[in-house]
């Protein structure tokens, strides 16, 4: 008999090789795959722990809901008056027993959503309606037409909407996945948010339709449509029944089994607050919710979906309606099965029509594709795509980024710095450990040339034991300023030393290898996976490196030969970003030296994931790297090499406040 291991079991087996006997110090594995697998498992296993009553959950739910809405990137739209839908029916197709209205609506000005509305003939009054959300299949409303057809034959009105990918207009879902648009993470952008907003506006359309019973709305879909079903039911309380098929798996299996590598960027929110799908499912409760899953799905392990169902169930039990949460498992691949189709149909009959029937009584869908309507017959944009359509560029404007503020006084600068740091602490660096572990310092090597060199090891966080090489001049027992120099991922031998060679001899130096650099790096072909997996666990490579630098600063301040009030950071290329943010969050660095810093964090990377990793979750919603030098005032800012033009914003503020601007060497 073949044994199938869960992601948890595989992670445990991987971890055994680096575990100590009980009572021994924690082994530091310095392995990014093990680390990300571990934090993913912690997120999956602990998010809903400690909730024991519905009263407790209801008190917590508004905050969790707001966090979810923000992670989807639609908070600005939920808090403002909605724009006009401008529903436009371009044609109608009459079928046997129902009609298909071909229409589009504007979910935002210029963002057109192609859709087909299936309406049964001879309705005697307002009818229940189902929103069908498409998965990642070319042709969208054509490919999935059998499902709204069946719902219409059963007496439901059904609106099937296309995504911004693979429909009549081909926009972008695969930004980080295949285009190197990792700055989406810095923007807090996720294509799932656009799809969620389009769906909410689709519900607006249904609720306003004269033939729809607005109190009886449902939602369903498979794959990407299955994950959207989770999102829509969690976000919009107008949904009274939801059925998700093959749309979710646990975060620990996404990362531990590398399922994420085959998944679209839309398959999890921007995970600022480190949630899993059972947290989203809890927001759906107590609404009737069906989770259907096939047992040989290449994208979602059936074991993890069982685990999700088990994790959501206690919330339904607290509400006293465990029967409202259903789980259906079918044989086969990532697809519908007769069993799941009929179970979903009976589910909607019960919860939207109040009629209990057996799944078999509902019959099955029409599977003969020769009887389907063609792409041309279901096309909405019969006269061409509107000239102002934003579908292909919506990623550039969906998240509203602030303009740099006008700063004229010291008080205004202090106020802005406080807001930036508070925002970053919660929404960019929220994955920082809540409690720092002991450093367990160990001096592993001493040497001397023109300087006295001490090489130290210290613990940054569980899993990471880092190395810093400190060079001192003069009396080694005397406290002196210390410049921490950050090594880059792929630097040539001696490059960091040459970069800092012009440093005044009043400074001692320390060369730090953060995770991702030097002996703590990983193969270049792993970077694509690491960047996506890190973001899905609420962090990025750059944010983890910022934490390592902060820990190094803290460690160095414990040393007798370091002046704790005169520590600087030097970084070049992508590590200049890490240096700036670490100095900002530390709040007590006296000097920062920058070499060829990036002009902005709002720029694409390489499609294969290699190269600079400067993205940080949500940072562009409050600031950008070129603004940080001003926020470090009165710390000195020195440049080696050219200064990108964007940094003039910071220099102008420093000059305005009576400083000398940037220095050079």
Between helices 7-16 and 32-46, what is the axis angle to 10°? 130
CATH 3.40.50.1820 in the chain: give the residue spans.
Answer: 54-396, 410-664
CA-CA distance, 266 to 273, in Å (whole number)? 16
Q: Is 97 in contact with 153 (CB distance < 8 Å)?
A: yes
Q: Is 526 in contact with 613 (CB distance < 8 Å)?
A: no
Structure-model confidence comparison of residues 238 and 475, the more confident one: 238
CATH number of 54-396: 3.40.50.1820
Residue 16, pLDDT score: 40
Residue 1, pLDDT score: 36
Residue 27, pLDDT score: 58
Residue 505, pLDDT score: 87
Residue 281 φ then ψ, to 5°: -60, -35
pLDDT band (50, 70, 90) for residue 10:
very low
What single DSSP character describes residue 322?
G
Q: pLDDT above 70 covers what percent of the chain?
A: 96
- pLDDT tens, 519-568? 999 999 999 999 999 999 999 999 999 999 999 999 999 999 999 999 99
Is the backbone peptide bond immediately before 661 cis, with ω within 30 degrees of 0?
no
pLDDT band (50, 70, 90) for residue 249:
very high
Tokens read off for 382: 């019969």
- pLDDT tens, 479-516? 999 999 999 998 999 999 999 998 988 999 999 999 99
Q: Is 176 in contact with 532 (CB distance < 8 Å)?
A: yes
Residue 520, pLDDT score: 94
CA-CA distance, 537 to 544, in Å (whole number)? 12
Number of Cβ within 10 Å of residue 638's Cβ equals 17
Is the backbone peptide bond immediately before 634 cis, with ω within 30 degrees of 0?
yes
CA-CA distance, 192 to 269, in Å (whole number)? 7
CA-CA distance, 390 to 489, in Å (whole number)? 38
Q: Is 234 in contact with 192 (CB distance < 8 Å)?
A: no
CA-CA distance, 623 to 176, in Å (whole number)? 21
Is residue 9 over pLDDT 50? Answer: no
H or E element in which residue 582 lies: helix 574-586
Residue 665, pLDDT score: 81
Helix (H, G, I), strand (E, B) or coil at 84: coil
Q: Is 207 in contact with 217 (CB distance < 8 Å)?
A: yes
- pLDDT tens, 414-471? 999 999 999 999 999 999 999 999 999 999 998 888 788 999 999 999 999 999 999 9
Residue 23, pLDDT score: 42
Tokens read off for 453: 């060199």
Residue 294 φ then ψ, to 5°: -90, 155
pLDDT band (50, 70, 90) for residue 370:
confident
Overall average pLDDT of the 607-626 stretch: 97
Helix (H, G, I), strand (E, B) or coil at 133: strand
Between helices 527-536 and 541-556, what is the axis angle to 10°? 80
Tokens read off for 321: 């309606």
Overall average pLDDT of the 244-266 stretch: 96
H or E element in which residue 191 lies: helix 191-208
H or E element in which residue 62 lies: helix 54-72
Is residue 4 over pLDDT 60? Answer: no
Q: Is 653 in contact with 608 (CB distance < 8 Å)?
A: no
Report the relative pairing of strands 589-595 and 508-513 from DSSP bridges. unpaired
Mean of the per-residue pLDDT values for the chain? 94
Overall average pLDDT of the 237-244 stretch: 98
CA-CA distance, 243 to 254, in Å (whole number)? 22
Is residue 18 over pLDDT 60? Answer: no
- pLDDT tens, 26-37? 557 899 999 999
Structure-model confidence comparison of residues 371 and 640, the more confident one: 640
365 Cβ neighbours under 8 A, 6+ residues apart: 146, 147, 149, 150, 341
CATH number of 410-664: 3.40.50.1820
Is residue 22 over pLDDT 60? Answer: no
Q: What pTM did the predictor assign?
A: 0.94
Tokens read off for 425: 């602490």
Is residue 614 over pLDDT 80? Answer: yes
């Amino acid at each position: 008999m073949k044994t199938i291991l869960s992601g948890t079991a595989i992670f445990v087996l991987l971890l055994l090789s680096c575990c100590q006997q009980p009572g021994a110090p924690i082994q530091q594995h310095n392995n990014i795959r093990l680390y990300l697998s571990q934090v993913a498992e912690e997120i999956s296993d602990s998010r809903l722990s400690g909730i024991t009553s519905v009263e407790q959950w209801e008190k917590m739910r508004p905050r969790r809901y707001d966090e979810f809405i923000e992670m989807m990137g639609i908070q600005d739209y939920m808090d403002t008056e909605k724009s006009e839908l401008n529903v436009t029916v371009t044609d109608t197709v009459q079928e046997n027993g129902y009609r298909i209205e071909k229409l589009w609506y504007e979910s935002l000005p210029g963002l057109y959503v192609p859709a087909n509305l299936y309406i049964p003939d001879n309705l005697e009054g307002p009818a229940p309606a189902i929103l069908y959300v498409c998965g990642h299949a070319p042709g969208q409303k054509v490919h999935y037409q059998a499902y709204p057809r069946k719902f219409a034959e059963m007496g439901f009105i059904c609106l099937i909407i296309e995504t911004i990918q693979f429909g009549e207009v081909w926009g972008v879902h695969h930004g980080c996945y295949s285009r190197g648009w990792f700055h989406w993470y810095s923007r807090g952008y996720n294509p799932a948010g656009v799809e969620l907003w389009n769906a909410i506006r689709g519900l607006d359309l249904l609720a306003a339709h004269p033939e729809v019973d607005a109190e009886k709305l449902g939602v369903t879909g498979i794959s990407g449509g299955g994950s959207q079903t989770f999102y829509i039911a969690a976000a919009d309380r107008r949904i009274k029944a939801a059925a998700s098929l093959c749309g979710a798996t646990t975060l620990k299996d996404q990362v531990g089994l590398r399922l994420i590598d085959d998944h679209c960027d839309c398959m999890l929110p921007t995970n600022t607050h480190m949630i899993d799908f059972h947290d989203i499912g809890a927001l759906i409760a107590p609404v009737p919710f069906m989770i259907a899953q096939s047992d040989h799905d290449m994208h979602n392990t059936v074991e993890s979906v069982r685990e999700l169902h088990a994790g959501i169930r206690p919330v339904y039990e607290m509400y006293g309606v465990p029967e409202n949460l259903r789980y259906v498992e079918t044989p086969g691949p990532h697809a519908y099965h007769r069993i799941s189709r009929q179970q979903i149909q009976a589910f909607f009959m019960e919860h939207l029509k109040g009629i209990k029937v057996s799944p078999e009584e509902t019959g099955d869908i029409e599977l003969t594709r020769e009887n389907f309507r063609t792409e041309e017959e279901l096309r909405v944009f019969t006269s061409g795509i509107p000239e102002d359509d934003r579908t292909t560029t919506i990623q550039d404007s969906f998240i509203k980024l602030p303009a740099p503020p006008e700063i004229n006084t010291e008080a205004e600068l202090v106020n802005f710095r406080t807001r930036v740091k508070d925002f970053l602490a919660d929404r960019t660096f929220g994955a920082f450990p809540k409690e720092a572990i002991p450093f367990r310092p160990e001096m592993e090597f001493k040497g001397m040339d023109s300087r006295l060199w001490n090489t130290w090891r210290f613990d940054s966080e569980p899993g990471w034991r880092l190395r810093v090489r400190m060079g001192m001049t003069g009396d080694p027992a005397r406290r002196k300023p210390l410049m921490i120099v950050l090594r880059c991922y792929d630097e040539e031998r001696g490059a960091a030393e040459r970069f800092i060679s012009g440093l005044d001899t009043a400074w001692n130096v320390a060369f730090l290898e953060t995770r991702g650099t030097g002996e703590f790096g990983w193969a270049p072909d792993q970077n694509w996976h690491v960047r996506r997996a890190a973001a899905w666990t609420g962090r990025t490579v750059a944010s983890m490196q910022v934490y390592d630098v902060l820990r190094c600063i803290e460690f160095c301040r414990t040393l007798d030969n370091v002046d704790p009030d005169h520590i600087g950071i030097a970084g070049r290329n992508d590590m200049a970003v890490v240096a700036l943010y670490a100095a900002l969050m530390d709040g007590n660095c006296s000097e920062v030296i920058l070499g060829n810093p990036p002009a902005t964090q709002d720029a694409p990377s390489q499609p294969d994931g290699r190269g600079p990793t400067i993205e940080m979750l949500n940072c562009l919603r409050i600031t950008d790297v070129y603004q940080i030098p001003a926020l470090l005032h009165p710390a000195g800012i020195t440049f080696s090499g050219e200064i990108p033009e964007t940094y003039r914003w910071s220099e102008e503020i420093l000059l305005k406040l009576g400083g000398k601007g940037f220095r050079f060497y």
